[in-house]
Amino acid sequence: MIEIVSPGPYATVQDLGRPGYAHLGVPRSGAADAPSLRLANRLVGNPESAAGIELTFGGAVLRFGDNAWIALTGAPCPLDADRRPTGMCAPVWIPQGGTLRVGTPREGLRTYVAVRGGIGVEPVLGSRSTDSLSGLGPPPLRPGTVLPVGGAGPSAAIRVDSAVQGPFSSCPPVRIVLGPRADWFAPDAVAALRAGPYEVATEINRVGVRLRGAALERARGGEIPSEGMTLGAVQVPPDGRPIVFLADHPTTGGYPVIGVVTARDLPLVAQLRPGDRLWFRPVPGVRT
Amino acid sequence: MTIRRAGEHALLVETGSLEAAHRLDALLRADRPEHVEEIVPGQETVLVVAPDADQGRLESRLAGLLASVTDAGAARDEAGAARDEAGAARDEAGAAAGVVEIPVVYDGDDLDSVAALTGLTVAEVIALHAGSEFVVGWLGFAPGFAYLIGLDPRLHVPRLDAPRTSVPPGSVAIAGPYSAVYPSASPGGWRLLGRTDVRVWDVSADPPAKLPPGTRVRFLP
């Protein structure tokens, strides 16, 4: 088991979420930066879908009740594993009773902790993820929370000493496929979106990232008849300031979506901090 | 009727009506195309999310189904006009069998405000709400929260100016053209007419939502 001595500013258990229930109003949820969670799991020989811990702005202290192999990925933080400095993106051995201290990230926002065997909290609708919008899954971690280890399914041998992950830019270009409701906007709205940059506002969470920048003017008023929303959708409320939807986004909505961020680039958005900037780059939809 | 791209991995099918959206939703669930992860009906749309599918092939498939649901609707309307009495009786029997009945204690905190806003008596408000048949349009806002279509236009009232910080589960409420049963405790700005013991959301049940899209609903006073 793992005892949360301190969760830092905000920490939750996350796996790859609970897809398949959107028609019942259930957000997908899951790691906001899914590739980082997958990498952390691979490093300790877990299936990629195992549950780990998603830290927001680092700052956590975890105590391990048993021997454990762990790995941290995502926003790079100074790490102290059982009183020894250690690195990101590598399997790390923690002896029984050992403590992991995670500092403040140099760049990026969300850091993932995988433990060999996975975090074994009870799944809800097939997932162990905390859904911050609906409250499904375990509550956010608090000092004193105890997390069981296990349940991840068969582990593979640990074969890698370390991995490399990309830099976490504070001003990335972000590719976006226009639509489905780009036609609800004035002709110069797409030009404004492209011209950028947009700055990340202070209102950011697992539901979405609110942006500040040129307001995107509508060509038509009113609300769209309620329609399904998708991961990465850039929804534009009446004030014209776009919101990029992350993992806990609502399943339906009535504000028009001017475009959808590509799956490759959405994890970059999930790693932005307030005050960071991004440039939208419209691309044609890729036929996969 | 159009099929729009919603990013690399999803298509938004415009069906033109709620009925056609429900027919398309039912067809897709009965014969799910390969790799489809989510099928999300809306008021006049169905969102189909399929990250691993060939989007071009999926679009062709959806275009065929869309034509059939809109044609089928038209055909059914024509047939309906010529339908004989036996057919009508059979449809009614079938309809009665498929309705979810929700017993309600009409003692909500907003009965008086709804009566004042509508110029009706409280008894008339209750009679109109319990006298209508609803259909679940779509879900949203919270897991299991079904937007019920079919509210008598005389009961269309605005939301509360200041939402309540917590509405208990089982609360039966109205706002705008909709009615709903709160599936779990949540903040809420809809006007409360009453409460029910029926659990419309239970994560341990399969399916967890009692009122999926297309379900017909009646409230019993």
Would you call A149 helix, strand, or coil by DSSP? strand
**Domain containing A234 — which CATH number?**
2.40.100.10
CB distance B111 to B221 below 8 Å: no
A67–chain B nearest CA distance, Å: 34
List of chain B residues with pLDDT < 70? 72-97
Q: Please answer yes or no on whether B5 and A125 come within 8 Å at the CB atom.
A: no
Determine if the peptide bond prior to B207 is cis (ω within 30°). yes
On chain B, the residues whose CB falls within 8 A of the CB of A227 are: 12, 42-45, 47
Nearest to B140 by CA among B192, B183, B88, B77: B183
> Could you tell me if A33 and A110 are in contact, meaning their C-beta atoms sit under 8 angstroms apart?
yes
What is the Cα–Cα distance from A134 to B28, expressed in whole angstroms?
26
Residues A137 and A178 both lie in one domain: no
Euclidean distance between CA atoms B172 and B180, whole angstroms: 6
Chain B CB contacts of A233 below 8 Å: 6-7
Asked whether residue A270 is domain-assigned, the answer is yes
Do both A118 and A201 map to the same domain?
no
Whether residue A141 sits in one domain with residue A177:
no
- Closest CB from A19, A233, A262 relative to B38: A19
B8 closest CB neighbour out of A23, A233, A262: A262
* Counted domains in chain A: 2
What is the distance in angstroms between the Cα of B168 and the nearest Cα belonging to chain A?
15
pLDDT at A178: 96
Asked if the domains B2-93 and B99-220 are classified in one and the same CATH topology, the answer is no
Q: Do A140 and A189 lie in a common domain? A: no
pLDDT value of position A121: 98
Residues of chain A with pLDDT under 70: 286-288
In this structure, are A142 and A190 located in the same domain? no
Residues A79, A41, single domain; the answer is yes
Q: Residue A265 corresponds to which tokens in the numbers above? A: 């680039």
pLDDT, tens digit (0-9, with 9 covering 90-100), for B167-190? 999 999 999 999 999 999 999 999
Q: In b/e form, how buried is each residue of A5-17, taking b as 16+ CB within 10 angstroms?
A: ebbbebbbbbbbb
How far apart (Å, rounded) are the C-alpha atoms in residues A264 and B7? Answer: 12
Q: Give the nearest partner residue to B143 out of A24, A230, A285, using CB atoms.
A: A24
Does some domain include residue A157?
no
Measured torsion, CA atoms of residues B149, B153, B155, B160, in degrees rounded to the nearest 10:
70
pLDDT for res B70: 86
Whether A155 maps to a domain, the answer reads no
Domain annotation covers residue A163: no
Rg (CA), chain B: 19
Residues A138, A265 share a domain? no
Distance CA B164, CA B71 (A): 44
Task: Confirm or reject contact between B28 and chain A (CB < 8 A).
Answer: no
HSE-CB of B113 using CA atoms within 13 angstroms: 15
Same domain, A6 and A125: yes
Rounded to the nearest 10°, the torsion over CA B90, B96, B99, B102 is 180
In this predicted complex, what is the ipTM? 0.95
The three-class DSSP label of residue A250 is coil
Cα distances (angstroms) measured from residue B19 to each of A13, B7, B12, B91: 39, 26, 16, 17
Q: Do A132 and A204 lie in a common domain?
A: no
Assigned architecture for domain B2-93: 2-Layer Sandwich (3.30)
Are A186 and A245 within one domain?
yes
Q: Does B40 touch chain A (CB under 8 A)?
A: yes
Contact flag A134-B43 (C-beta cutoff 8 Å): no
Could you tell me which CATH class the domain B99-220 is placed in? Answer: mainly beta
pLDDT at A151: 86
Q: Is residue A161 part of a domain?
A: no
For residue A152, tell me if it sits in a domain.
no
CATH classification of the domain holding A13: 2.60.120
Name the residue type at position A108: G
State whether A24 and A80 are in the same domain.
yes
Assigned domain for A264 exists: yes
Nearest by Cα to B182 from B216, B213, B139, B152: B139
A129 in the same domain as A185: no
Q: What residue ranges do the domains of chain B occupy?
A: 2-93, 99-220
Question: Quick check: is A214 in a domain?
Answer: yes
Which residues lie below 8 Å from residue A156, measured CB to CB, with a gap of 6+?
A: A45, A46
The beta-carbon neighbor of A285 closest among B8, B39, B51 is B8
Which pLDDT value is given to residue B77? 57
pLDDT score of A288: 39
Q: What is this structure's pTM?
A: 0.93
Q: Which domain holds residue A217?
A: 173-283
For residue B35, the chain A residues in CB contact (below 8 A) are: none
Instruction: Report the alpha-carbon distance of residue B141 to residue B20 in Å, rounded.
Output: 23
